[in-house]
Amino acid sequence: MSELNNIALTVIGNGKGILAADESTGTMTKRLDGVNVESTSKNRLIFRETLFSSESMKNCIGGVILYDETIKQSTTSGKKIPELISESNSVPGIKVDTGAKVLAGSSKEKITEGLDGLRERLKEYYKLGARFTKWRAVYTISEDYPSKLSIISNAHALARYAALVQENGMVPIIEPEVLMDGNHAAEDCYNKTSEVIKRCFEELILNKVDLKGTILKPNMILPGNKSQQKISSEDISKLTVKCLKESVPSEVPGIAFLSGGQTETEATENLNSININNNTNFIMTYSYGRALQQSALKNWSKNIEDIKETQAIFNHRANMCSLAAQGKWSKDIEKQSN
């Protein structure tokens, strides 16, 4: 078993998932503004340190995706953030793309940038303790989109990124996110997501990326957020599993879903259904940002000194996600343990 495969399995194995704490300073400022907390470097650190030192980190969180600011910070006691994460047997990771910009030639779509200077940045992140990375591509669904240009351009960038990451001894998370925005049906999401993922793996193989040392971070198959279509968690899970079974090479060790605008409970319930219906060899787990943090953030904002209560709320959510990653969650358990 390769070292990269070992890292991937440590991050997503044994009912564990990923805490996506890689919000850029701009995004984190919006989140903190939303709960009336001033977005200073210190406040951003206090909230993240509260989560990273929670009890559930040991059993539920296999990896944490950090942002450039956070991986270089130290805790209030002087411990480096990657050290704090590693102490819970969780793996520090890092977001390495520099954001989605307008795609030349298709101005309503985006291309993710950040390949320039990436090799050098990866060397620095490795020294800081990172052992896996993340790069997100975004695609919109409409009658005209995603275009071939968007699908091909983003797949190529993801593959170049992944090759550089593995060259530097880290596991790349491949995140092709087909956005929920729009009035499309779940079937449209299924078709477009299949096309996007298949193209990504064609490019990864072309770029000689070791698929056993990767993690895929896709969207679930959902109707658009403006769609009138009502769809059960059972149907979401069956479409999602079918899509991934047909689109993802068997060498990939696992899939860590993004929550993509779902509520905390929706993201948990849908992941649980996916695992109940999982007839593949893939580990199916979570890589959630808001769906792990939102309730904890709301509580923390009332009193940023109240670490204990915020951690209790985060622990509950992480435990629910971990159960869902094993197909053991239920609405009753959610209510009883809340």
What whole-number distance in Å separates Cα of residue 150 and Cα of residue 139? Answer: 7
Identify the bridge partners of residue 139 per DSSP, sorted by sequence position: 178
First to last CA, the chain: 40
- 91 to each of 8, 97, 130, how far by Cα in Å? 10, 19, 7
Neighbours of 217 (CB within 10 A): 22
On the CB side of 290, CA atoms within 13 Å amount to 16
- 59 to each of 14, 34, 47, 52, how far by Cα in Å? 9, 30, 20, 12
Q: Residues of 241-258 as b/e, b for ≥16 C-beta within 10 angstroms?
A: bbbbeebbeeebbbbbbb
Q: Which amino acid is at 315?
A: N
Strands (E), the chain: 17-20, 61-66, 91-95, 100-103, 106-112, 132-139, 171-178, 215-216, 254-257, 283-288
Helices (H) and strands (E) in the chain, counts: 13, 10
Identify the bridge partners of residue 173 per DSSP, sorted by sequence position: 134, 215
DSSP state of 38: -
* Residue 195 appears among annotated catalytic residues: no
Identify the bridge partners of residue 135 per DSSP, sorted by sequence position: 174
Active-site position among 49, 217, 264, 334: 217
- Phi/psi at 308 (5° precision): -60, -50
* Residue 212 appears among annotated catalytic residues: no
Neighbours of 41 (CB within 10 A): 11
Active-site position among 109, 175, 264, 334: 175
Catalytic center residues: 175, 217
